[in-house]
Structure 1
Amino acid sequence: MIEDKLAKSLFTVVNEGSFQAAARVLNLTPAAVTQRIKALEAQIGARVLVRGKQLRLTPQGKAIVAFHHKNELLQDELLRALNLDAQTYHGNKRWRTLRVAVNADSIASWFLPGVADALGQQHLLLDVVIDDQDHTHEALRTGEVMGCVTTLAEAMPGCVAEPLGVMRYRALATSEIMTRVQTSAGRLSAHRLLAQPAVIFNRKDAIHDRFLERFLKLQSPAYPKHFVPALDAFEAAIDLGLGWGLVPDAVRASPSGKKPTAKLQEVMPGCYLDVQLYWQHWQQEPRHAAALTQAVKAAAMASLLQADD
């Protein structure tokens, strides 16, 4: 049996990103944390971490972290069932942390506003991993998170995939860029569009290629790209005329989001991409995690396009 303190040390090193940061959280010296990781590797006869510029879990390490994460949540649920959930900090109700993976467009528009009340009522703390919606499920598969907003419809082993709704993306650009990509007759020129930079969130984001293939029949075209992996900066780059980009209606309509200026126009009016999102989460989840699941589903129902819209 793997000692809990060894598994917890590995979990903390991964969450904090370094041995030094983990040592502060665990109230140990970095050398003591290193010794615990070495003891864990000796116990299972395999490496759990690949050390380099960034720490990476081995498959064995991922399995241990996933087990520890689930075990902590289930132990917490057991304490509640035994009416031993009276632990407080400075007289306040205990806070619990839930780690989730969400795409940037969702976190900025409907996700956080939609779950805010539930977080307060349930005394939950979010630890959010931001990734492209086509890749968030990897964090759930490895046990790094307990739930994710994803485009993956097929439930992973031990998980449930629940449809949330659709995010609709439209290509936007400034009027200055629009004059460069249109012919004298006011029609869009694919050649001219490909000569203009696109503003893309990060290198995992393939939605521009999908848009070009769907509406202009262009497969894997070459075009200049700005990569701006921060949502506010991404919108600002489009607004400043650095390039054209795909922005979801949910972000533009969000009360807390940055409003686009009037000079932004649709590159191809009436053309949009619909991205179906799902909430994948553990099939057996503690009560407080189930409360978050219900809040996520309710938020998506209120903000995203549904099948009958």
Structure 2
Amino acid sequence: MLDTKQLLAFAAVLEHGQFGAAAAQLNLTLGAVSLRIKALETHYGQRLLVRGKTVRATAAGQRLLAHVHQLRMMEADLRNGDVPQADTSPQWHRIAVAVNGDSLSSWFLPGIANALAQHHIVLDVVIDDQEHTHEALTSGDVAACISTQSQAMRGCLAEPLGVMRYRCVGAPSLVAQCHNAKGALVPHQLLRTPAVIFNRKDGLQDAFLAQHLGLHSPQYPRHFVPAVDAFESALAHGMGWGMVSDLHLQARANALPLQELLPGSAVDVALYWHHWVREPSLTQGLTAAVKLAAKALLRPTQ
């Protein structure tokens, strides 16, 4: 049987990234926190934390952290089932999720807002590229994620949500520079023109060049702009060409005077909702809302 106080100390250290802040949160001495972690590692017979400037979990520690998150949500379920006594005000419950930036702003948050209020959930969102969000679930940092991976890890489900369609666009003046007098896209001219990329994990531009122009691992100048509003502003001001989802183009048609560089050519990205098979009722409510929102706004998975 695992010791609850040791688990709380373990989770606090990882949430803060250091022993001192965890001790302050728990109203314990630094030594007391260290002793609880040491006792937990002795129980497991292996290291659970990698000590350094920022403390992080080992592989075994990541599995334990996921278990702690599950326990917390199950305890919240039990509390919600109790008959309230003196204090009838609702308790809010934290759920950490990993979501790609495009989904977050276009359909995810609008689609689940009512469910969050209904179930008294506060989100702790980790933003990452859709090909890398799964790492946060694997590490135990989040309870669920949106990912391009169709294969679920052990103990989890990967449910298809739908497809986000992206188009290669740019400001009208930039698009004109990349075409010849007959209106055809000139690939070598495109490669001499900077691209606007959300972050270094974003591979949509390379996918477009490979799928529609037959260009594999090409070299071209790049702006990295890791914020949705700034990314759109860079495109609108002609700083470069980039990949934008149909959802964003439709929602921002008046604010973003962008044109396709190769009309009719898109990159489709299939998305999956990864969550635990044995998930608490709070996460079940979130899962239902996510699936409903995706069905309404995403393209169906073929």
Contact kept? 2:96, 2:141, Cα under 8 Å: yes
Q: Cα–Cα, structure 1 residues 32 and 259, in superposed 2: closer, same or farther, change >3 Å?
A: farther
Equivalent residue for 1:213, pick from 210, 213, 224: 210
Q: Report the residue type matching 2:159 in the other structure.
A: E
Equivalent residue for 2:268, pick from 265, 268, 274: 274
Q: Cα–Cα, structure 1 residues 18 and 260, in superposed 2: closer, same or farther, change >3 Å?
A: farther
More displaced stretch, 21-30 vs 186-195:
21-30
Indicate the residue corresponding to 1:295 in structure 2. 289
What is the TM-score when the length of structure 1 is the normalising length? 0.89
How many residues of Structure 1 are paired with residues of Structure 2 in the alignment?
302
More displaced stretch, 173-182 vs 38-47:
38-47
Root-mean-square deviation over aligned CA pairs: 2.2
Indicate the residue corresponding to 2:256 in structure 1. 261
In 1: Cα distance, 2:250 partner to 2:30 partner: 47
In 1: Cα distance, 2:77 partner to 2:225 partner: 40
Question: Deviations 1:144-183 (Å, cap 9, x if unpaired)?
Answer: 2221111112222111221111111011111222232222
Indicate the residue corresponding to 1:61 in structure 2. 61
Q: Cα–Cα, structure 1 residues 165 and 234, in superposed 2: closer, same or farther, change >3 Å?
A: same
Q: Report the residue type matching 1:287 in the other structure.
A: S
**Structure 1 residue 187 and structure 2 residue 184: aligned?**
yes
**Structure 1 residue 172 and structure 2 residue 166: aligned?**
no
**Structure 2 runs not aligned, ≥5 long:** none
Indicate the residue corresponding to 1:108 in structure 2. 105
Indicate the residue corresponding to 1:231 in structure 2. 228
What is the TM-score when the length of structure 2 is the normalising length? 0.91
Indicate the residue corresponding to 1:145 in structure 2. 142
Q: Report the residue type matching 1:261 in the other structure.
A: L
More displaced stretch, 161-170 vs 90-99:
90-99
Q: Cα–Cα, structure 1 residues 240 and 176, in superposed 2: closer, same or farther, change >3 Å?
A: same
**Structure 1 runs not aligned, ≥5 long:** none
Percentage of pairs with the same residue: 48
Equivalent residue for 1:84, pick from 82, 97, 100: 82
SS in 1 for 2:132: coil
In 2: Cα distance, 1:260 partner to 1:160 partner: 38
SS in 1 for 2:108: helix
Q: CA deviation at 1:200?
A: 1.1
Indicate the residue corresponding to 1:6 in structure 2. 6
Alignment of 1:12-161 (within 5 A): 12-30=12-30, 32-80=32-80, 83-84=81-82, 86=84, 91-161=88-158
Q: CA deviation at 1:111?
A: 0.5
Q: Cα–Cα, structure 1 residues 53 and 202, in superposed 2: closer, same or farther, change >3 Å?
A: farther
Contact kept? 1:232, 1:258, Cα under 8 Å: no
